[in-house]
Amino acid sequence: MIKNKQAPIIVIGAGIAGLTAASELQKQGKSVVVLEARDRLGGRIFSQKIGHEVYDLGASWIHGIEANPIWSIVQQNQIQTTVFNYNESIYYQSNGQLLDSTGKLIFEQSLDDLLHQFKEIDQPERYRHALHALETWLNGQEFLDHINNQFHLDKNAVIKLQKMLLDFFNLLAEDPCASDLAHLSAEFWKNEGFYPGDEVIFPQGYVQVIDSLSKNITVLTNKVVECIDYSQDIIQVLTVDGEKFSASQVVITVPLGVLKKYHIQFLPDLSQQKKQAIQSLGFGTFNKLFVRFNECFWKSAEYEQINNVYIHNQHRWLNFLDMSEIYHQPTLLFLFGGASATWLENVSCDVVWQEIKQSLELIFDEIPQPIQLFKTEWGNDPFSEGSFSYQAVGHTSDQVGILKQPIQGKLFFAGEHLASFGAGTVHGAYESGLDVVKSM
Ligand SMILES: Cc1cc2nc3c(=O)[nH]c(=O)nc-3n(C[C@H](O)[C@H](O)[C@H](O)COP(=O)(O)OP(=O)(O)OC[C@H]3O[C@@H](n4cnc5c(N)ncnc54)[C@H](O)[C@@H]3O)c2cc1C
């Protein structure tokens, strides 16, 4: 219901959720203006040309192309993609030895069994914390019997497997949850929001999806919204530069991290219930480190096709992806989530490299000096304040429902954190952009 025909609908944020909402509203013949804080479009989709190549510093993957709406956009616009599945992996143990095929089978099967338990969890109150649930299962008789019946391991091998699994779950909490196991709800895996099918990436950048969506939409950049006054029929949107925009309705798609930090003031203030939902939903940090070399020192003839490597060193699994084919140069991508992502932001690339080198030295005799390193800092970014949402301990779908609830038919909310399927992903954000328009 448009309150005033003169004033447009204002969408705050030109990420995928905001642009999708704007595009849908425009299709309905509505007048729409998008206000974006940065000098670029795309938000957490951020493709940057460095040298001759385009690097995705935010989202890289379409998580499963079957029935994925992002894949439809890609096909309609004939955007080039490359299949990059990372389910074929190799694992190095802390003694530097590669897990052989039997060891790998035992490890991956036990991992699957545990993930299955997270999906099937039927007593969420008993197992509120993912860490608590995992420790209970790992040490429980049921798991030990299961391992013994299937794999006939001796006591020391079981202890080693338990440790490897516990540390690996910490890595799973980092990616795809941008958090640490101790902060995750035990139900985190129940609502996994990936589509089936191949995972694909964009050699020329994810931003091409944004370019397709934003055609013919009015986006004003460098407009940092700091206040939304919805006390009158006509809503006033104010920027830090003192500009004032009038709107009939406002769709707010800024990241949850920005809402948590109260960077935008609401007049009147948001309800206590909404503020509580904002603070209760999890929003974590996830960062990337790209390291370029002159030579592929990590390749062996046997594992020529493997692009996903894990190294267990002390209490941590280090994970890197071989991106050399995409970037036409030997390149490794290291992924960091939760506390390690925050650490990454607050130290120099040299310090990070020295730390990583210690793990690589367990495996490789000679590690050449990288020719270039660069990292992302999504947690330090005032227009993101983190990377994506996750299911924190105590998470309920009610909290998402409360935050999604429009206010007086004037204010509407969208963004990846409000997705009913695929929170924390591009497709989730896209679908929340479609959903919000249905509610207007
Ligand atoms: C490192 C990283 C890797 C990722 N990898 C993947 C992946 O491989 N696949 C996948 O599916 N997803 C991935 N994601 C998640 C995905 O990028 C996000 O879920 C999605 O892009 C979020 O879209 P959005 O529109 O909800 O938010 P955003 O893209 O963040 O858009 C919100 C917009 O609001 C703007 N804004 C903020 N504050 C203000 C203000 N005060 N005034 C005006 N504008 C403001 C921001 O600048 C931004 O443009 C990744 C994210 C990160 C950070």
Centre of ligand 1 from the C-alpha of residue 422, in Å: 13
Whether residue 168 contacts residue 115, with contact meaning beta carbons closer than 8 Å, is answered with no
By alpha-carbon position, which residue is closest to atom 19 of ligand 1? 425
What CATH number has the domain bearing residue 408?
Answer: 3.50.50.60
Q: Is residue 250 part of a domain?
A: yes
Task: Give the mean model confidence (pLDDT) for residues 44-62.
Answer: 96
Query: Where does the pLDDT of residue 121 fall: very low under 50, low under 70, confident under 90, or very high at 90 and above?
Result: confident
**One domain, residues 178 and 214:** no
Q: What is the arrangement of strands in the sheet containing 89-92, beginning at the earlier edge strand?
A: 89-92, 308-313, 316-322, 331-337, 286-292, 372-375
Ligand 1 atom closest to residue 428's alpha carbon, by position in its atom list:
19
Q: Is residue 38 part of a domain?
A: yes
**One domain, residues 125 and 263:** no
Q: Is 335 in the pocket of ligand 1 (CB under 6 A)?
A: no
**One domain, residues 125 and 258:** no
By alpha-carbon position, which residue is closest to atom 5 of ligand 1? 59
Q: Is residue 392 part of a domain?
A: yes
Query: Where does the pLDDT of residue 1 fall: very low under 50, low under 70, confident under 90, or very high at 90 and above?
Result: very low
Pick from 148, 183, 218: which residue ends a domain?
183
**What single-letter DSSP state applies at residue 303?**
G
Q: Is residue 111 part of a domain?
A: yes
**One domain, residues 405 and 275:** yes
Q: Is 187 annotated as contributing to ligand binding?
A: no
Confidence (pLDDT) at 3: 46
Q: Among 264, 377, 388, 434, say which to mutate for ligand 1: greatest number of ligand atoms within 8 Å of CB.
A: 388
Q: Is residue 426 part of a domain?
A: yes
363-392: pLDDT as tens digits:
998 899 999 999 999 999 999 999 999 999
Query: Where does the pLDDT of residue 4 fall: very low under 50, low under 70, confident under 90, or very high at 90 and above?
Result: very low
- C-alpha 360/C-alpha 139 separation (Å) is 31
What distances in angstroms separate CA 425 from CA 62, 70, 380, 429, one per listed residue? 9, 11, 20, 6
Task: Give the mean model confidence (pLDDT) for residues 96-117.
Answer: 92
Q: Which of 41-50, 303-312, 323-332, 421-430 has the lowest mean pLDDT?
A: 303-312
**One domain, residues 224 and 176:** no
Residue 140 has pLDDT above 70, yes or no: yes
**One domain, residues 173 and 247:** no
**One domain, residues 266 and 390:** yes
Whether residue 338 contacts residue 173, with contact meaning beta carbons closer than 8 Å, is answered with yes
Centre of ligand 1 from the C-alpha of residue 2, in Å: 28
Report the 10 Å Cβ neighbour count for 140: 11
Residue 196: burial class (beta carbons within 10 Å; 0-12, 13-18, 19+): exposed
Q: Is 388 in the pocket of ligand 1 (CB under 6 A)?
A: yes
**One domain, residues 278 and 211:** yes
Pick from 135, 168, 183: which residue ends a domain?
183
Instruction: Give residue 107's domain range.
Output: 101-183
**One domain, residues 154 and 114:** yes
Confidence (pLDDT) at 335: 95
Query: Where does the pLDDT of residue 405 fall: very low under 50, low under 70, confident under 90, or very high at 90 and above?
Result: very high
Q: Is residue 199 part of a domain?
A: no
Residue 440 has pLDDT above 90, yes or no: yes
Q: Is residue 168 part of a domain?
A: yes
Q: Is residue 277 part of a domain?
A: yes
By alpha-carbon position, which residue is closest to atom 26 of ligand 1? 415
184-214: pLDDT as tens digits:
998 888 777 899 999 999 999 999 999 999 9
Ligand 1 atom closest to residue 18's alpha carbon, by position in its atom list:
25
**One domain, residues 114 and 177:** yes
Q: Is 58 in the pocket of ligand 1 (CB under 6 A)?
A: yes
Centre of ligand 1 from the C-alpha of residue 429, in Å: 8
Residue 100 has pLDDT above 50, yes or no: yes
**One domain, residues 229 and 176:** no
**One domain, residues 393 and 271:** yes
The total number of structural domains in the chain stands at: 2
Confidence (pLDDT) at 206: 98
Round the average pLDDT of the chain to a whole number and report it: 93
